[in-house]
Structures are given as C-alpha cells and as structure tokens.
Amino acid sequence: MKSIQLYKDVEVTVKEINSNTSGLHKHHFFELIYVLHGSGVHNINDNHYEFSTGDVFLLTPEDAHTFEISTPTKFCIIDFTESFFSKSANRLEEKMDVSEFFKRLEYIFHNHHNVKGNLIAIEDRNIFEVLIDQLMTEKEHEQSFGNIITQNIVFLLLHLIARNIQRNIIIYSKEENPKNKVHDITAYIQQNIYDKELIKLENIATHFNKSADHLSRYFKLQTGSTIKDFITQYKLDLIKTRLKFSDLTISQIADEMNFTDESHLNKMFKGIFGQTAKQFKKEQNSDAKHI
C-alpha cells in the first residue's frame, strides 16, 4: 500500500481522476476532501460510500482509502497536520493563537467515524462551496495575508463539519431510542473536556436538570461505564492524539488536561494503555523515523 507523508502545515490541491479507480493508500496527516464535480464510490477502511458533487469527507491519520470513479471527478483536497493547530515560536507572525480552536475541533477527530460518508449538511452546502472557491483562489494567487485567510477558512469549514457530526450523532441515537440522552451527555463532556468545573458530576447533572445520583445511575445503566471513567478515557484518548501528532511536552499536556503533574498523567496512562505516556511518545517517534 502506498503511504504518503506531509511536510507542510496545510496544502490545498485540485486533483482530477478520470480512470475507474485510484490506488489504495493511507496518510499520516489529516485530509479534507471536497467533491467539486463527479461521482463514484469512496472506499474508506473497507467501507464503501457513494459520492457526488458537493460531498465532503474527512480522513484522519492512518485511514486507508481509494476512489472508484463513475464519472470524471475533480476534488479539492486540503491536507493539514496537527501542527497546523498549534503555536509555533518560529512562525508567530504567520499564525494566530489557535490552541482554543483546536480544543473545540478535536471533537471532529474523535467522532467523525460515527457519521457514515458525507459530512456536510444539505443546508450548509452553499456556504461550503463559497468557502472552497475562496480557498482555491487564495492558493492560486498567494496574496498578502493569504496564510491567515487560508487558516480561517479551514477553521470555518471544520466548524461546519463539527456541528453536522454532533447533530447527526444525536439524530441517529434518538432514532434508535428517542428517550436516550447518553449522546447529549457525552457530547457535552467532550465539548467541555478542558474545563474541570463544567465536567464535575454535579455541574453536568445541573446542566441536564438531574440530580448527580440519578445521572450517575442512568449513565452507568446505558453505557456500562461511570461518568468519571468516561471522562478519564476520553482525556487519555485525546492525550494519545497529542502525543502522536504534536510536539507538546508531557508536562504541557498534563497541565492542559488538568492532571496534577506529569507523574499523575503517566500513572493514569499506564493504567489504561499498559505503558507510560513517555514510553508511548518515544515509540511513536521511533516508528515515524522508519516510515
């Protein structure tokens, strides 16, 4: 399988595929794919999704995909690494402080597989098309402030996707069980994971107009997990993402995720994943050197 690496923060390309199929390959970065025109089937991790003009797909690192083309197809492809969402001391003049943006957008990276196929709502298609057109214009002409404009366009595109993912997850869950509120609760926790006050049990319960005991019993009954365990697991999943794709130190991550210190984070990480965060990061760095 072909494997592709990326050495820029963000790259916008337009690609045409006229043959029946494209080669199966995977990425070590994030990729947003917009169908400018055409139709066919998009195979992502052996799942097949029909696509047509205006559809949107998001690939995260290690996703394997290929296209089967029915009619000649043109894509706008936005490739970006996680460093795109972090501050860089060497490029502060080109990058705004985007750490808060990234905290919100992590929801996409950990939930987009719950939405099958196209990620954009019908009512958002017009604005999405306008933003993609402007993005391609910025890429083509490379004018002043182009980097910051490109960055903001990508943020807006991702926020539209995040809203649609959340909406679809809740819709799907209510179709299966109209009275089930678990996805509302987990969405609230995920969106407020960096605010230790908001994700305290009593404050979650207040938000949903329940007592803490009632909410705890309900969540445990529906998921088999306590709210505390869910919060811990989600935090550690986010930490794995940051260890793999960012240059933040473990101490910085511990502080950001409201752990007491690096030792506390390592202890919790090892309890879930069988190795410390430091060992995991070293292993990821070693693997990257051999790619």
- The predicted structure's pLDDT at residue 191: 83
8 Å CB contact between 42 and 67: yes
Same domain, 13 and 152: yes
Total structural domains within the chain: 2
The reply to whether 248 falls in a domain is yes
- The predicted structure's pLDDT at residue 105: 61
- The predicted structure's pLDDT at residue 134: 94
Same domain, 112 and 186: no
CB neighbours (10 Å) of residue 76?
19
Q: Where are the strands (E) in 146-253, listed by range?
A: none
Residues in CB range of 153: below 8 A, 6 or more apart: 131, 134, 135, 138
For strands 10-17 and 25-27, give the pairing. Answer: unpaired
Q: What is the CATH number of the domain that holds 116?
A: 2.60.120.280
The reply to whether 176 falls in a domain is no
Look up the domain containing 158 and give its range.
Answer: 2-169
- The predicted structure's pLDDT at residue 106: 72
3-state SS, residue 11: strand
- Tell me the backbone φ, ψ of residue 225, rounded to 5 degrees: -125, 150
- The predicted structure's pLDDT at residue 3: 41
Same domain, 212 and 115: no
Residues in CB range of 115: below 8 A, 6 or more apart: 164, 165, 168, 169
Residues in CB range of 282: below 8 A, 6 or more apart: none
Q: How far from 48 is each of 51, 53, 77, 213, 282, CA to CA, in Å? A: 10, 17, 19, 43, 35
For strands 30-44 and 56-59, give the pairing. Answer: antiparallel
8 Å CB contact between 79 and 132: no
**Could you say which of 169, 190, 216 is where a domain stops?**
169
Cα–Cα distance for residue pair 130/92, rounded to 1 Å: 28
**Could you say which of 114, 141, 169 is where a domain stops?**
169
Same domain, 158 and 270: no
Same domain, 214 and 148: no
Q: Where are the strands (E) in 176-290, listed by range?
A: none
Same domain, 26 and 76: yes
The reply to whether 177 falls in a domain is no
Same domain, 94 and 219: no
The reply to whether 165 falls in a domain is yes
**Could you say which of 169, 200, 234 is where a domain stops?**
169
The reply to whether 175 falls in a domain is no
- Tell me the backbone φ, ψ of residue 17, rounded to 5 degrees: -125, 120
- The predicted structure's pLDDT at residue 139: 85
- The predicted structure's pLDDT at residue 20: 66
Same domain, 203 and 227: yes
- The predicted structure's pLDDT at residue 259: 92
Helix 227-245 with 99-109: angle, nearest 10 deg: 110
Same domain, 74 and 165: yes
The reply to whether 39 falls in a domain is yes
Residue ranges of the chain with per-residue pLDDT less than 70? 1-9, 20-22, 28, 81-105, 113-117, 172-178, 286-291
Same domain, 30 and 114: yes
Cα–Cα distance for residue pair 180/212, rounded to 1 Å: 17
The reply to whether 174 falls in a domain is no
Q: What is the CATH number of the domain that holds 213?
A: 1.10.10.60
Same domain, 97 and 154: yes
The reply to whether 101 falls in a domain is yes
Same domain, 133 and 195: no
